[in-house]
């Protein structure tokens, strides 16, 4: 049997080379057959689908407000911001409307913006018109014939309505609204302007302080420091006389706050009570001057904003209320220190949608309220009374409180009642029972907390109730949007202002139906006097009459909502088809091929390329043989 013998050194193995060539030919034939089979079997085209977006729509709304206010018998709103928008990302259609309002006292102080709307007003200011309204409400507008509403003691004649009207100074910031962008990226935003309100003491009350300033000057004690001079200094008949008269004035304005402490000992807000908190340099004349010329209440509130925004990745709805501060008797203690300061912190609400995952993420920052005073333990902290399931006069429900009701009392803490002396608990017990956070000279309220101050005593004109609404969980609207709101704050100040009348030099009281707490409302002649000066072409409003006494404000509320729908679909692309071939039910015998190709024409370049490659390999092998 023949066997192949390897070549010796320096000799070419011809038989081995030939064997390799035979293998290459067999591989080439097999590869060509495979290519041919693939060309005959594989379809000319492969069917596939392109994913398309059928529906991609979004909608949102946001709103916030600087303050909603009842002021001495009138209801009016200041500084609101509202935005709403819709987006159809498939048709590239975006619509948005932004509204900002200065105040309803001047309805024209509204800015409004929309896409492609030539009537849009991007900024609206109304300060001169607001000053006209406040002049009317303060009784200082020219041409007003104010009626006599009572008789002064000592034969001093009649008391004009103007002597009881508080002097109002209102500064309202401009409202703004803007929209811009397109369906791929847009922003709609509105701003409700800032607000400053100064409420001065009625002329009759400030006049009492002015008269007393002249009296103490005549006694020669006006330049004495209150601490170390009038109090703690050399005692004389003039000093004693001045001290008694000043305490009477303070009692009429601050109220006879009685605070039972240990052993039923009570304190009254007189010179001795406020002396530790007075600025050291405060003189007798400086103290009386702060009452004569200073404000009763000063309100400074920041702007409210609302915005909707969208881009290719997200859709956003957000509202912000900046909060602010309220000072009661702002400079009573000297050096800019108020008797009571209330700070309302910033709050916001936001809903964002991830356009890739379509997940809505709601978030809210609830406000905190801080009540500060160097005299805080002496201001009669107490619980709010429960009236018809509500917390005092705040309008907030008891069920929203985080403090339980014990024996019919919120937190088991007695509630002060203006016009009577209530057995209140000591400061520390009240703070603990109401769940308040406390520090040096302040208490702090979070969602679901409430407290009242300066409400106890036979005269309690400065009675103030404060309540923070409960924290709210996200909800789903009827149209499927996710909605979130921040807690609202309600503060009712000067609730007992009517009791101030008992301290005024008036004989027989005021005319029937006239109360200091609602002196601008229906019971006052002022509405009838100025009704012809507002409305119609004037563009002015006095607001709506209300029976809420004093000043009640609702603020720090922000709300946002957003939602979207995305539906994905597929567009089917048909596969390319070969020319149809009629099916034969009976196999026909094979005939000799006389023409045509056994493969589709598109396979020819592939086969030719494979054949050329094989021939090139064979030639190289032969040259090397």
Which comes out higher in pLDDT, residue 376 or 610?
376
C-alpha–C-alpha distance, residues 98 and 565, integer Å: 23
Taking the C-alpha atoms of residue 473 and residue 625, their distance in angstroms, rounded to an integer, is: 88
Residue 572 confidence (pLDDT) above 70 = no
Q: What is the pLDDT of residue 439?
A: 92
> How crowded is residue 406: how many other Cβ atoms within 10 Å of its Cβ?
12
Confidence tier at 435 by pLDDT (50, 70, 90): very high
Q: Which among 541, 340, 324 is positioned nearest to 443, based on CA atoms?
A: 340
Task: Report the range out of 356-370, 452-466, 598-612 with the highest average pLDDT.
Answer: 356-370
Confidence of residue 6 (pLDDT cuts 50, 70, 90): low
Residue 445 DSSP SS3:
strand
Query: Cα separation of 378 and 395, whole Å?
Result: 27
pLDDT digits (tens, 9 = 90+) for 498-544: 888 877 888 777 888 788 899 888 777 887 787 777 877 778 888 88
Q: Quick check: 330 pLDDT over 70?
A: yes
User: Comparing 139 with 362, which gets the higher pLDDT?
Assistant: 362
pLDDT at position 600 is 53
> SS3 for 285?
helix
pLDDT at 37 over 80: no
Q: What is the pLDDT of residue 40?
A: 44
pLDDT in tens, 60-100: 999 999 999 999 999 999 999 999 999 999 999 999 999 99
Share of the chain above pLDDT 70, in %: 80
Distance CA 331, CA 291 (A): 8
Closest CA to 45 of 605, 580, 577: 577
Vertex 329, ends 328 and 335: CA angle to 5°?
115
Neighbours of 235 (CB within 10 A): 11
Q: How does residue 577 score in pLDDT terms, banded at 50, 70 and 90?
A: very low
**Number of Cβ within a 10 Å radius of residue 513:** 11
Rounded to the nearest 10°, the torsion over CA 232, 238, 243, 245 is 180
What's the rounded Cα separation, in Å, for the pair 361 and 382? 39
**298 compared with 250, residue with greater pLDDT:** 298
pLDDT tens digit sequence for 285-296: 999 999 999 899
Question: CB burial class (10 A; 0-12, 13-18, 19+) of residue 96?
Answer: buried
* Separation of CA 91 from chain center: 33
The residues that bridge with 324 in the sheet, in sequence order, are 301, 344
For 421-433, the pLDDT digits (tens) are 788 888 999 999 9
Distance between CA 388 and CA 397 in Å, rounded? 9
CA distances from 421 to 104, 266, 267, 455, 501 (A): 40, 10, 12, 10, 18
Q: What is the mean pLDDT of the chain?
A: 83
Nearest to 216 by CA among 252, 256, 187, 245: 245
pLDDT of residue 500: 83
Q: What is the DSSP string of 362-396?
A: EEEE---EEEE-TTGGGS--BBPPEETTEETTS--
Q: State the pLDDT at residue 58.
A: 97
User: What is the C-alpha separation between 141 and 428, in angstroms, rounded?
Assistant: 49
Q: Measure the CA–CA gap between 417 and 250, rounded to whole angstroms.
A: 20
pLDDT, residue 431, reads 94
Instruction: Give the model confidence (pLDDT) of 352-382 as tens digits.
Output: 999 999 999 999 999 999 999 999 988 889 9
Phi/psi-derived region of residue 46, left when phi > 0, alpha when psi is between -120 and 50, beta in every other case: beta
> What's the pLDDT at 132?
87
Bridge-based pairing of strands 347-354 and 340-344 is unpaired
Nearest of 243, 214, 195 to residue 76 by alpha carbon: 195
Spatial separation of the C-alpha atoms in residues 508 and 159, rounded to whole Å: 12
pLDDT at 254 over 90: no
Angle between helices 604-624 and 14-41 (to 10 degrees): 180
Cβ-based neighbour number of residue 593 at 10 Å: 8
- Residue range 287-306: mean pLDDT, rounded: 94
- pLDDT score for 522: 73
Across residues 160-164, what is the average pLDDT?
A: 88
List the alpha helices (DSSP H) in 192-236.
Answer: 203-219
Backbone phi and psi for residue 257, each to the nearest 5 degrees, phi listed first: -75, 120
From the list 78, 95, 71, the residue with the least C-alpha distance to 191 is 78
Look at 177 and 570; give whichever has higher pLDDT: 177
Residue 38 scores a pLDDT above 70: no
Between the CA of residue 278 and those of 335, 453, 461, 580, what are the distances in Å? 9, 20, 22, 105
């Amino acid at each position: 049997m023949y066997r192949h013998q390897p070549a010796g050194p320096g000799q070419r193995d011809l038989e081995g080379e030939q064997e390799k060539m035979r293998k290459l030919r067999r591989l080439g034939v097999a590869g060509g057959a495979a290519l041919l089979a693939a060309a005959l079997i594989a379809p000319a085209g492969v069917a596939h689908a392109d994913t398309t977006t059928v529906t991609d729509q979004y909608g949102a709304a946001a709103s916030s407000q600087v303050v909603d206010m009842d002021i001495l018998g009138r209801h009016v709103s200041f500084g609101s911001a509202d935005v709403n928008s819709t987006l159809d990302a498939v048709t590239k259609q975006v619509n948005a409307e932004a509204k900002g309002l200065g105040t309803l006292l001047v309805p024209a102080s509204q800015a409004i913006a929309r896409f492609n709307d030539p009537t849009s007003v991007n900024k609206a200011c109304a300060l001169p018109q607001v000053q006209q309204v406040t002049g009317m409400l303060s009784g200082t507008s020219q041409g007003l014939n104010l009626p006599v509403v009572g008789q002064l003691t000592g034969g001093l004649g009649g008391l004009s309505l103007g002597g009881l009207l508080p002097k109002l100074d209102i500064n309202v910031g401009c409202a703004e609204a803007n929209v811009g962008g397109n369906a791929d990226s847009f922003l709609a935003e509105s701003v409700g302007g800032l607000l400053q309100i100064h409420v001065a003491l009625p002329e009759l009350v400030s006049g009492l302080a002015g008269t007393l300033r002249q009296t103490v000057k005549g006694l020669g004690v006006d330049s004495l420091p209150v601490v170390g001079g009038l109090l703690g200094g050399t005692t004389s008949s003039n000093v004693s006389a001045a001290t008694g008269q000043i305490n009477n004035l303070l009692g009429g304005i601050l109220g006879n706050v009685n605070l039972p402490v240990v052993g039923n000992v009570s304190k009254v807000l007189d010179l001795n009570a406020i002396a530790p908190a007075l600025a050291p340099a405060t003189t007798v004349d400086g103290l009386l001057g702060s009452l004569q010329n200073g404000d009763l209440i000063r309100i400074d509130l920041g702007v409210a904003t609302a915005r909707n925004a969208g881009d290719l990745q997200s859709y956003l709805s957000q509202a912000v209320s900046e909060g602010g501060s309220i000072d009661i008797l702002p400079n009573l203690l000297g050096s800019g220190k108020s008797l009571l300061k209330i700070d309302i912190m910033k709050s916001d609400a936001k809903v964002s949608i991830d356009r890739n995952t379509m997940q809505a993420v709601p978030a809210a920052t609830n406000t905190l309220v801080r009540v500060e005073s160097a005299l805080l333990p002496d201001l009669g902290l107490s619980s709010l009374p429960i009236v018809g399931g509500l917390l005092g006069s705040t309008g907030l429900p008891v069920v929203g409180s985080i403090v339980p009701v014990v024996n019919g009392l919120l937190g088991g803490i007695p509630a002060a009642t203006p016009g009577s002396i209530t057995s209140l608990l000591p400061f520390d017990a009240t703070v603990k029972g109401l769940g308040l956070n406390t520090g040096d000279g302040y208490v702090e309220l979070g969602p679901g907390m409430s407290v009242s101050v300066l409400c106890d005593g036979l005269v309690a004109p400065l009675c103030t109730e404060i309540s923070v609404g409960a924290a709210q969980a996200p909800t789903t609207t009827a149209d499927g949007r996710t909605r979130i709101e921040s807690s609202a704050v309600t503060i009712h100040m000067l609730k007992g202002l009517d009791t101030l009348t008992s301290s005024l030099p008036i004989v027989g009281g005021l005319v029937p139906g006239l109360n200091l707490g609602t002196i601008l409302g229906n019971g006052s002649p002022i509405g009838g006097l100025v009704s012809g000066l507002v409305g119609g072409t004037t563009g002015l409003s006095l607001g709506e009459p209300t029976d809420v006494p004093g000043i009640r404000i609702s603020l720090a509320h922000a709300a946002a909502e957003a939602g979207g729908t995305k539906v994905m679909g597929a567009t089917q692309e048909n596969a390319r088809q070969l020319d149809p071939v009629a099916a034969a039910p009976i196999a026909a015998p094979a005939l000799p091929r006389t023409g045509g190709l056994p493969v589709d024409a598109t396979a020819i370049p592939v086969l030719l390329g494979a054949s050329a490659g094989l021939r090139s390999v064979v030639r190289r092998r032969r040259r090397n043989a």
